[in-house]
Amino acid sequence: MELLIEHGTLLIVIATSLGFLMAWGIGANDVANAMSTSVGTKSLTVVQALAIAAVFEFLGAYLAGGQVTNTIKEGIVDTEAFGDNGIDLTLGMISAMFAAGTWLILASILGWPVSTTHTIIGAIIGFSLLSVGADAIHWGMLWGIFGSWIITPVISGVIAYLLFVSVLRGIFRHFHPMKHAKRKAPLYIALTVFVISSITVSSGLQHIGFHDITTGTSFLISGALALAAAAAGAVVIRRIPEKNPNSEKDGEKERKKGKSRNNYKQVEKIFSVLMIITACAMAFAHGSNDVANSIGPLSAVVSAVNHARDSSYDPSALEWWILPLGAVGIVIGLSTLGYKVMKTVGVKITHLTPSRGFAAQLATAATVVIASGTGLPISTTQTLVGAIIGIGLAHGIAAINLRVISGIFASWIITLPSGTILSIIFFKILQFFFS
């Protein structure tokens, strides 16, 4: 306890720096995943993706990130098992951030879309095993998290598959796909906004003081927002021309063959508009879940130091400046190293068009935000890759680059033990200097 009081300020400075480093790694890797389908389908430029990430990652972290932050902070290991030895818990959380940040930066440089969640949880397990033993780890919670890493890619893959099949049957296979696209696109926009806002209003806003919102009220608010977004989207979509003026001759040939004169490229332009909506949803969903991976350990360090200084300090409190720090680090990471992972996920797994990318993004955002509402730290990377695989399977197994998929799976397998080993190494180093 004396060490925490004596070196508290230094420990907070170190933890803040490493929390920022980890957020940078998350931005370079996981946020790059979140934006990869939008950039890969050319629905957004890299600059536009950065702008969307800057706004919606921050909003997701601030409005809906509190639940998952508490899981990372307190749900993996029993912090009471450290007893009065708060210095070990503090040094452990610092080593976990150091380990996770190092691994994420390395993976991003190599273009590997690894799981931030795997990394930080592996790192927390590492120092906990060394410091207080296996009994202090909440294995029941961990088995639920481990199970989610298998279940969520399957769920997002199924949702993406069903969404894309509905797009194929409801739009592309009709005689006039453009008319059906203009009619149904606002419904997809409404669905996207409703999914994101309902979870945010019902559980996320509690983090900033809104505790009395009932389920019915949250649905009414979400429904109103969804209708407003659908109406605004319908206005934009209506301005897209029915047919590409440069394809008059092609349209006439199709008409003579009994096919629609609508150019599929025009339909994809509509889905490019939808992808802007789902990109915002994806950034929000990612911010709500994965930003906790960087600021959860940082919050634990700040709480431990402040509680050592003042016993009346609430150790479950989340300082106001921590969530914004994580959000800023994420945006900087995306802008500096994110392009490599964007290429792997957005281009190399399977051929993506705006309609396919839309289905993948909406499926991923829905899965991630629902998990955030329950406080479950899932892997955004696995969820998105599962969704993209689901899209590829809609066209047959040959549409998927199995070599790229196998490489991604291999990087996932080594991520958790890498985080564990690095955390143990850094923990021993920190113990040497502070003990």
Q: What is the pLDDT of residues 238-297, one digit of tens each?
A: 888 876 544 445 545 554 554 545 568 888 889 988 888 888 877 777 776 666 666 777
Q: Which band of pLDDT confidence, cut at 50, 70 and 90, is reported for residue 44?
A: confident
3-class DSSP assignment, residue 366: helix
* Range name among 186-190, 191-195, 314-318 with the lowest pLDDT average: 314-318
Top-confidence residue, 55 or 252: 55
Whether the predicted model's global pTM rises above the 0.85 cut: no
pLDDT in tens, 194-246: 877 776 665 555 555 555 667 677 788 889 999 999 999 899 888 888 765 44
418: pLDDT strictly greater than 90: yes
| pLDDT recorded at residue 248 | 47
Top-confidence residue, 331 or 110: 110
80: pLDDT strictly greater than 80: no
State how far the Cα of 119 lies from the Cα of 136, in Å rounded to an integer: 19
Backbone phi and psi for residue 341, each to the nearest 5 degrees, phi listed first: -70, -35
Helices (H) and strands (E) in the chain, counts: 15, 0
CB-based burial, 322-349: b 16+ in 10 Å, e otherwise = bbebbbbbbbbbbbebbbbbbebbbbbb
Token pair, residue 95, equals 């080593």
Domain that holds residue 226: 2-434
| pLDDT recorded at residue 70 | 61
Report the domain count for the chain. Answer: 1
Q: What is the mean pLDDT of the chain?
A: 80
126: pLDDT strictly greater than 80: yes
Q: Which band of pLDDT confidence, cut at 50, 70 and 90, is reported for residue 427?
A: very high
Top-confidence residue, 401 or 105: 105
| pLDDT recorded at residue 57 | 78
| pLDDT recorded at residue 429 | 94
* Range name among 230-239, 390-399, 412-421 with the lowest pLDDT average: 390-399
Question: To the nearest whole percent, how much of the chain has pLDDT over 90?
Answer: 12
State how far the Cα of 434 lies from the Cα of 426, in Å rounded to an integer: 12
Question: To the nearest whole percent, how much of the chain has pLDDT over 70?
Answer: 83
Q: Name beta bridge partners: 350.
A: 400
To which residue do tokens 């951030």 refer?
Answer: 97
pLDDT in tens, 350-360: 778 888 888 88
Note whether 281 and 195 are within 8 A (CB). Answer: yes
30: pLDDT strictly greater than 90: no
The residues near 432 (Cβ < 8 Å, ≥ 6 apart) are none
Note whether 367 and 159 are within 8 A (CB). Answer: yes
32: pLDDT strictly greater than 90: no
| pLDDT recorded at residue 424 | 95
State how far the Cα of 322 lies from the Cα of 165, in Å rounded to an integer: 42
307: pLDDT strictly greater than 70: yes
| pLDDT recorded at residue 392 | 84
The residues near 4 (Cβ < 8 Å, ≥ 6 apart) are 11, 86, 87, 90, 304, 305, 308, 309
| pLDDT recorded at residue 147 | 79
Highest mean pLDDT of the ranges 48-62, 75-89, 119-133, 273-287: 119-133
Token pair, residue 210, equals 């809104």
179: pLDDT strictly greater than 60: yes
pLDDT in tens, 332-342: 888 888 888 88
pLDDT in tens, 154-176: 888 999 999 989 998 888 888 78
